[in-house]
Copies of this chain bind each other. A is one copy, B any other.
């Protein structure tokens, strides 16, 4: 499993180019950045060299298509998806992710069928470039009532949705925070096969009743109460080989410098990989 970084948790890390260099310096192997932007600014060869020089690859790009709103916005965003997928593929990235909010202001069943169709189209386009689509189920309880109608948030629901989408290249983005807030266990990971998981996020949760854990109250791995040793151990055991990417969403910007945050992140990974017997 590859150690990965996203911007969330690194403070004012600066450009994607900076983040790539920082990831390399602090022992990370993948970064979640905008592949097309990297090529636009550096050229294809420049972007490839930058990644190669730093021995870093792209863990996942984000799905920029807005599939949760009007058909007009969906169509507008879809215009760019193939370009973005081509850019990601050109840099060796095989994953594109989006998150699924657990509630919606739309009528839930209607939104479900519209979103099924939209994500199928996105998956087909991504698939043409050899890229898988990861759907991130979202666990924090407060979000389940943050919009009018409940949507999907459990692993089972998300797997059922993936079956409805029906494309071979769709899987889970499995985030430790959502695993924890959904009350899941190591056995729930053991029940999955590795191809069902296309990306992993890692982070930690404060020692609060699980119902009170806020989506933007995340801690660095090992600084909270989630059994990340069990989490990583199970992912490794079932054969997951992709990125394990840090994502620390917080209500306020961190006060430490990017360098301090990178050291903290590196130590966090050392700690939880060791706890998982992977160090």
Give me the interface of A with B, judged by CB distance under 8 Å: 74-76, 78-83, 86, 89, 104, 107-114, 116-118, 120-121, 124-125, 127-129, 149-152, 157, 160-161, 163-164, 166-168, 193-195, 239
Once bound together, how far apart are the Cα atoms of A108 and B164, in whole Å?
Answer: 14
A128 touches B78 (CB 8 A): yes
A112 touches B121 (CB 8 A): no
Given A128-B121, A167-B166: A79 and B82 within 8 A (CB)? yes
User: Mind listing 10 A-B residue pairs with CB under 8 Å?
Assistant: A82-B125, A104-B109, A109-B150, A109-B151, A116-B116, A117-B160, A120-B124, A167-B168, A168-B168, A194-B195
B110 touches A157 (CB 8 A): yes
A106 to chain B, nearest CB (A): 10
Measured between beta carbons, the chain B residues less than 8 angstroms from A149 are 108-109
Given A109-B150, A152-B110, A239-B194: A164 and B128 within 8 A (CB)? no
Once bound together, how far apart are the Cα atoms of A75 and B116, in whole Å?
Answer: 22
Q: Choose among B75, B78, B120, B164 the residue that contacts A114 (Cβ–Cβ < 8 A).
A: B164
A238 to chain B, nearest CB (A): 9
Measured between beta carbons, the chain B residues less than 8 angstroms from A166 are 117, 120, 166-168
A75 touches B129 (CB 8 A): yes
Once bound together, how far apart are the Cα atoms of A199 and B81, in whole Å?
Answer: 28
Q: Choose among B113, B125, B152 the residue that contacts A157 (Cβ–Cβ < 8 A).
A: B113
Measured between beta carbons, the chain B residues less than 8 angstroms from A125 are 78, 82, 121, 124-125
Once bound together, how far apart are the Cα atoms of A117 and B86, in whole Å?
Answer: 17
A75 touches B128 (CB 8 A): yes
A62 to chain B, nearest CB (A): 18
B75 touches A86 (CB 8 A): yes
A147 to chain B, nearest CB (A): 12
Measured between beta carbons, the chain B residues less than 8 angstroms from A124 are 120-121, 124-125
Measured between beta carbons, the chain B residues less than 8 angstroms from A163 are 113, 117, 168
Q: Tell which of A108, A150, A157 has the most Cβ of chain B within 10 Å.
A: A108
Given A121-B127, A195-B195: A164 and B167 within 8 A (CB)? no
Once bound together, how far apart are the Cα atoms of A120 and B78, in whole Å?
Answer: 16
Once bound together, how far apart are the Cα atoms of A111 and B116, in whole Å?
Answer: 13
Top-8 shortest CB links A-B = A112-B112, A113-B164, A195-B195, A109-B112, A108-B109, A108-B108, A116-B164, A168-B168
